């Protein structure tokens, strides 16, 4: 059974995650996870 989960991000959290995505020195797995969270919060990422 599928469940719908909504992620609510504040402005500060969104800024932090955006910084992770934009940091070229971060491990790729961190960038991908941050991007998934950001897209999920915008309801653009669906599994």
Give the per-residue pLDDT at 15. 97
Q: Is residue 1 part of a domain?
A: no
Q: Is residue 47 part of a domain?
A: no
Give the per-residue pLDDT at 44. 76
Give the per-residue pLDDT at 47. 59
How far, CA to CA in Å, does 7 sit from each of 24, 27, 40?
Answer: 25, 23, 7
pTM above 0.75, yes or no: yes
Q: How many domains, in total, are found in the chain?
A: 1
Place of tokens 């669906």: 46
Q: What's the domain range around 31?
A: 11-41
Long-range Cβ contacts of 34-39 (<8 Å, 24+ apart): 37/7, 37/9, 38/9, 38/14
Give the per-residue pLDDT at 2. 77
**pLDDT tens track for 2-47:** 777 788 999 999 999 999 999 999 999 999 999 999 998 988 766 5
Cα–Cα distance for residue pair 14/34, rounded to 1 Å: 9
Place of tokens 């959290």: 13
């Amino acid at each position: 059974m599928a469940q719908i989960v909504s992620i609510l991000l504040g402005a500060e959290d969104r800024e932090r995650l955006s910084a992770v995505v934009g940091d070229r020195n971060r491990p790729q797995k961190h960038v991908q996870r941050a991007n998934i969270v950001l897209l999920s919060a915008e309801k653009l990422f669906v599994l």
